């Protein structure tokens, strides 16, 4: 039987996992590393309380299915994490265990039982999106007499035009925006995937005016800076959007009944492209979806398209009969 002393310790494995496997071999993004790091910080703090071992003294065999399940339950019960957050943490742990299984074969039975823990299923609500009129009301809300208002109108117009994520838009540099000839924006997307999105003529004109106002700045400078000249933050964008939704609600009161975040713009762009007849594969490229399955969620959310499809299908003429279970067992099953 292999001697465990010949295998690296859990602490060494975890350090190699981050510094060699994730950073050098897989070259994952800094955001992924930060998310995985936070998972193990939470897990090791929980393990210290649960099994009484300091993080440096934890062994790979301690990460059994019982400890991991207790940790996942802790996330949901005590930290109020939803199933989606729970699954993200579990994915990080699984990734490490897959790596560890190649470096410590003596721990394989424990690792295999831990890897058998399933992702938790959850109800996926329909995507919420804005109508074109509601979107226009929000884009018209910024005060054009103020510098921040002109910046915000350019920012949110670009967000709607491109369907970009908040992180993608606040990370835009001056060199990423092409306003000569065929105007477009080069977006550095999720998972280090780059895509180019064309601009409507109205969007290009708005961005040209904003670019002239910014003056002569370096190509590496933020295209949408704050007053300090650095990139806007997520919280900054969310705060500004809330102001404009409140103002737009004076014309469109139904906005107050909706939960609107910057990501709602992305959903709205996809839905408006879909409703305009754009092929779903093109929308996937437009949004930078890794899998077309993600884009199919918008088909589920568009009730108007379903109604048009239903109108083309004539109902069958059927008589109404009542189903009667043939025996007691079938009655029991029917009543469940």
Mean pLDDT of the chain: 86
Known catalytic residue: 122? no
Known catalytic residue: 165? yes
Q: Which of 190, 195, 251, 258 is catalytic?
A: 190
For the chain, residues classed under CATH 1.10.150.130 are: 4-115
Known catalytic residue: 263? yes
Q: Give the pLDDT score at 90.
A: 97
Q: Is the pLDDT of residue 225 over 70?
A: yes
Residue predicted with more confidence, 298 or 260: 260
Q: Which of 86, 165, 240, 267 is catalytic?
A: 165
Instruction: Encode pLDDT of 64-94 as tens digits.
Output: 999 999 999 999 999 999 998 999 999 999 9
Instruction: Encode pLDDT of 308-319 as tens digits.
Output: 544 555 555 555
CA distance 261 to 158: 15
Q: Give the pLDDT score at 1.
A: 45
Known catalytic residue: 266? yes
Residue predicted with more confidence, 280 or 115: 115
CATH code matching the domain that covers 132-311, chosen among 1.10.443.10, 3.40.50.620, 3.30.70.1050, 3.40.50.2300: 1.10.443.10
Q: Determine what percent of the chain is predicted with pLDDT higher than 90.
A: 62
CB 211 within 8 A of CB 177: yes
CA distance 46 to 43: 5
Q: Determine what percent of the chain is predicted with pLDDT higher than 70.
A: 84
CB 206 within 8 A of CB 154: yes
Beta bridge partners of 185: 177, 197
DSSP at 195: E
Q: Is the pLDDT of residue 169 over 60?
A: yes
For the chain, residues classed under CATH 1.10.443.10 are: 132-311
The topology under which CATH files domain 4-115 is DNA polymerase; domain 1 (1.10.150)
Tell if the pTM clears 0.75, that is, is over it: no
Instruction: Encode pLDDT of 6-54 as tens digits.
Output: 789 999 999 999 999 998 999 888 888 999 999 999 999 999 999 999 9
Instruction: Encode pLDDT of 249-270 as tens digits.
Output: 999 999 999 999 999 998 899 8
CA distance 32 to 28: 6
């Amino acid at each position: 039987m292999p001697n465990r002393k010949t295998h690296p310790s859990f602490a060494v494995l975890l350090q190699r996992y981050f510094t060699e496997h994730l950073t050098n071999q897989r070259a994952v993004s800094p955001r992924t590393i930060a998310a995985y790091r936070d998972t193990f910080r939470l897990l090791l703090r929980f393990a210290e309380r649960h099994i009484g071992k300091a993080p440096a003294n934890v062994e790979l065999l301690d990460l059994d299915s019982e400890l991991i399940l207790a940790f996942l339950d802790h996330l949901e019960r005590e930290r109020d994490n939803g199933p989606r957050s729970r699954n993200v943490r579990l994915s990080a742990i699984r990734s490490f265990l897959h790596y560890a299984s190649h470096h410590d074969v003596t721990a394989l039975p424990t690792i295999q039982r831990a890897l058998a823990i399933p992702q938790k299923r959850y109800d996926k609500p329909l995507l919420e999106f804005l109508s074109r009129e509601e979107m226009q009301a929000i884009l018209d809300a910024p005060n054009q007499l103020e510098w921040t208002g002109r910046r915000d109108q350019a920012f949110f117009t670009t967000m709607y035009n491109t369907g970009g994520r908040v992180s993608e838009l606040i990370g835009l540099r001056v060199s990423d925006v092409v306003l000569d000839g065929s105007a477009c924006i080069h977006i550095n997307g999720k998972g280090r995937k780059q895509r180019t999105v064309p601009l409507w003529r109205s969007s290009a004109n708005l961005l040209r005016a904003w670019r002239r106002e910014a003056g002569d700045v370096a190509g590496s400078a933020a295209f949408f800076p704050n007053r300090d000249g650095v990139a806007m933050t997520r919280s900054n964008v969310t705060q500004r959007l809330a102001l404009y939704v409140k103002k737009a609600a004076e014309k469109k009161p139904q906005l107050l009944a909706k939960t609107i975040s910057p990501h709602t713009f992305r959903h709205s762009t996809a839905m408006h492209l879909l409703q305009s007849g754009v092929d779903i594969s093109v929308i996937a490229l437009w949004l930078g979806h890794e899998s077309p399955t993600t884009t199919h969620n918008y088909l589920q959310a568009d009730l108007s398209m379903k109604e048009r499809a239903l109108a083309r299908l004539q109902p069958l003429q059927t008589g109404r009969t009542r189903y009667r279970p043939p025996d007691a067992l079938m009655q029991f099953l029917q009543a469940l």
